[in-house]
Structure 1
Amino acid sequence: MFDVVTGGAGFIGSHLVDSLVAQGRDVLVIDSLCAGKRDTIEGHIASGRARLLNRDLLADGWQDSFKGAGCVYHLAADPDVRQSAMTPDPTFRNNIIATYRVLEAMRIHGVPEIVFTSTSTVYGNASVIPTPENYAPFEPVSVYGATKLACEALISAYCHSFGMKSWQFRFANIIGARSGHGVITDFIRKLGEDSQELEILGDGKQTKSYLEVHECVDAMHFARAHARDPVNIFNIGSEDWIDVRSIADILVEEMRLTGVKYRFTGGALGWVGDVPKMQLSIDRLKALGWKPRLGSRESVRIAVQAALAEQ
C-alpha cells in the first residue's frame, strides 16, 4: 500500500513527502509542476521511494493511479489569495473542481482516507481571536477562502456518504524553506530591486500567526495518528502572532542592510481579501497532546534565513 500526495513537489507538499519517505512509506506524487519543482523530491525519486506523475488534476490520465492507495494527501491547489480577487476562475477550478475529481477517484478505487490542507481564511474576519474550529458563522472575505470552505464541505459529504475518513487542517501562515510566495518572498524580491526602500502593503500593522513548515507537517501526522472520527478538523498554527513591520525588520536585519526606508501603501488591508488580524486557537490539537515548539517570530527568522540561503 502507498500514499498519494497531490501537489507533492510544492512547498508544503515536498516537506510532507520527505516525512512520509522517512517513515518508510512509498509515495506517489501527482503534480502538474506549474508551481512545484521536481528537484524538491528528486532524491526520493532516485531512491525509488517516490514516483512522480506529472499530471494536471483538471485533465485525465491520473485517476487509475489511485488503485491500491491507502491515503490521499490532497495539497494541490491555487494558493494565491490576492490573485483570486482579480481572476477567480482558476482558483475555483483548481480548488473546488480538482478536489471533487480527487474525491471521485477515491470513491471509484476505494481509497479510504484523505488528508486535506485548508486555511484560516475560511473564517474571514473572525470576531473571536484566537479563533476555534467551531467558530461561526463562516464568512470568507476572499474567493480563495470560499473555495477552501467549499472543499471542506465536499470532503465531509463524501466521508459520510461513502465511508471515508478525513483530516482537514486549517493552516495559519506556513513558512519555511522552498516557499515560493508570501510576504517574505515578496520583501526579498523588492529589496533585491531596491535595497534602500521597501514597499509594505497596507499600514504594516497586519498581525498574524506564522508557523515553520516542519512544525506544520509534524502536527498533521500527530493529528492523523490520534484522531479517528469520520471527519476530523484541526487548526494548525503558532500560539502567538507578529505584525508585518516586524517581519520587515527581521528581514532587513538578516540581510544586514542599513538605512532602509519603509513606504506603506496605507489602509488596514494589504489587498482585497486580506485578513488584518489572525490567530488560530490550537486547543483541539493541544488536547490530543501536540503543541508547537516555535512561535511566530522564531518561525519567521528561520524562514527568512532559509529563503536567503536559497537565493
Structure 2
Amino acid sequence: MKFLVTGAAGFIGMHVAKRLLREGHEVIGLDNLNPYSDPALKAYRLAQLQAYDLFSFVELDLTRRECIAELFQREHFQRVIHLAAQAGVRHSLNAPFDYVDSNLVGMMTVLEGCRHHQVEHLVFASSSSVYGMNSAIPFSETDQVDHPVSLYAATKKSCELMAHSYAHLYGLPATGLRFFTVYGPGGRPDMAPWIFTEAIINNQPIKVFNRGEMERDFTYIDDVVECVNRIQQCVPVRHMQDGAMTQAPYEIYNIGNHQPIELKRFVTAIERSCGQIAEKIYLDMQPGDVLKTYAETSRLKAAIGYQPHTSIEQGVGQFVGWYRDVWLSRDR
C-alpha cells in the first residue's frame, strides 16, 4: 500500500513511517524542515527512514497549494497520515500566524488532495489540548470542546471540524487522533522529558510549574505507533441514522495512557533514570497550560482492541537511555 506521511521528520511522523516501512508499505514522507526544532534532530530522524528502499522524501511546505496538488496527482496515495503541524502551546503565544499557516492552511491542502484523488482513509493528528479546562474527568471524545485556552488548541479543533465537513460532503473517510503528551526516543526538545533530562544531566536547575501539582496523561511513542497503525486499517464508513445514510465516515479517538501522572512523579522517574537529583525552581502556571489531562480510551480499545499501557518509569527509562547512548554520543 502507498502512504503519504506528512511531518515525516517530526517525532511521531518518523516513528509511524518507520512502522509502515517495516511492514512493507511504500511511504512518501513530506516535511518542510522548518527551524522550530533542531535541524540535527530532524536529520537524525530522516536518516532512520532513508535506510529503507521503499521510502522517498519530499521537502515541501503544505501551504504551497499547487505543489501539494501536483504531489497528490503524481503519486496516487492510497492512504494519508497527516501529522505535520506547528506544535507547542507556548510558541503559539509568540508566533500565532505560524499556526494558521501550518495547521489550518496545511490541513486544507491535505483535505483537497484527498478529496480529488480518492484517498481511502485520512488519519490526522489532533491534540488533547482541545479539551482546554474541561472539568469532566476523564476526557471523553463526546465532551464539548468549544472553549480552547490556546490558539494551538483552537487550530486543532478547527482541523477536526474541517475534516468532518469533508467526510460529510464528499464521503472522505477521516479519523482524528487526540494525542496526549507523547514522549520517547527521538522526541521533541521543547517538551518536558527532553528539557528535564538535558538539564539534570548537565547539572542545571529545572523549572517546575505550579509546584509540580499538575497531571499529564503521558503516552509512550511505541503505544502511539501501535494505535496509529491499527487505526489506519479501520476505515470509517457512513452509518444508518433514522433510516437514512446520513452520518459522515468520520471518527475521533483519544490516544492516551488512561493514567494521569503527577508532575512530581514524572520528575522523580527522570531523576532515577539519570541517577541524580534535580535542583528545582518552582514557578506559577504558564498561560495556556491546564492542570490535568486524562484520556478516556474505552472507544479506542473497542475499535482496535488495544490501548496504551507503558508505565512512566518504563517509558522515561527508554527515553533517558536513548538520550545518553544515542543522541549525546552521535558525534563521538
Instruction: Calculate the TM-score normalised by the size of structure 1.
Output: 0.92
Q: Secondary structure at the match of 1:273?
A: coil
Deviation at 1:107, TM superposition (A): 2.1
Which residue does the alignment assign to 2:191?
182
- 1:109 corresponds in structure 2 to 117
In the alignment, structure 2 segments of 5+ residues that lack a partner are 238-248
For residue 228 of structure 1, give the secondary structure of its aligned residue in structure 2.
Answer: coil
Q: Structure 1 pair 154/88, CA: closer, same or farther in 2 (3 Å)?
A: same
Task: List 4+ stretches of structure 1 deviating above 6 A.
Answer: none
Change in Cα spacing, 1:47 to 1:190, as seen in structure 2 (3 Å) is closer
Match of residue 84 from structure 1: 92
Say which SS state the counterpart of residue 211 (structure 2) adopts: coil
Residues 1:221 and 1:47: Cα distance change in structure 2 (over 3 Å): closer
Q: Check the 8 A contact 1:242/1:297 in 2, yes or no.
A: no
Identity of aligned residues (%): 27
Moved more, 145-154 or 178-187: 178-187
Q: Against the structure 1 CA distance between its residues 43 and 128, is the aligned structure 2 distance closer, same or farther, given a 3 Å change threshold? A: closer
Residue 197 of structure 2 contacts residue 274 of structure 2 at CA under 8 Å; is this kept in 1?
Answer: no
Alpha-carbon distance between aligned partners in 1 of 2:230 and 2:29, rounded to the nearest angstrom: 21
- Using the TM superposition, give the Cα deviation of residue 43 of structure 1 relative to its aligned residue in structure 2, in angstroms: 4.9
Q: Which amino acid aligns with 1:99?
A: M
Q: Does 1:13 align with 2:13?
A: yes
On the 8 A contact 2:274/2:320 being kept in 1, the answer is no
In structure 1, what is the equivalent of residue 146 of structure 2?
138
> What's the CA shift string for 1:156-194, capped at 9, x where partnerless?
11111112101111111110011123001111333355x
Alpha-carbon RMSD across the aligned residues, in angstroms, is 1.9
Matching residue of 2:317:
301
Deviation at 1:263, TM superposition (A): 1.5
- The alpha-carbon deviation at position 296 of structure 1 amounts to 3.6
Q: Is it true that 1:123 corresponds to 2:131 in the alignment?
A: yes
User: In the alignment, residue 19 of structure 1 is paired with which amino acid?
Assistant: R
Tell me how far apart the structure 1 counterparts of residues 54 and 149 of structure 2 sit (CA, whole Å).
41
Aligned equivalent of 1:64, options 70, 76, 85: 70
| Distance (Å, rounded) in 2 between the aligned partners of 1:245 and 1:254 | 14
CA separation in 1, counterparts of 2:220 and 2:302?
21
Select which of 39, 53, 57 maps to 1:52.
Answer: 57
Distance 2:44 2:279 in 1: 37
Q: Distance in 1 between matches of 2:52 and 2:235?
A: 32
1:184–1:72 Cα change, 3 Å? same
Number of matched pairs: 306
Show the counterpart of 2:240. Answer: none
Deviations 1:81-137 (A, max 9, x none): 111122211112110111011111222333232110111111111111111100124
The alignment's TM-score, normalised by the length of structure 2, stands at 0.86
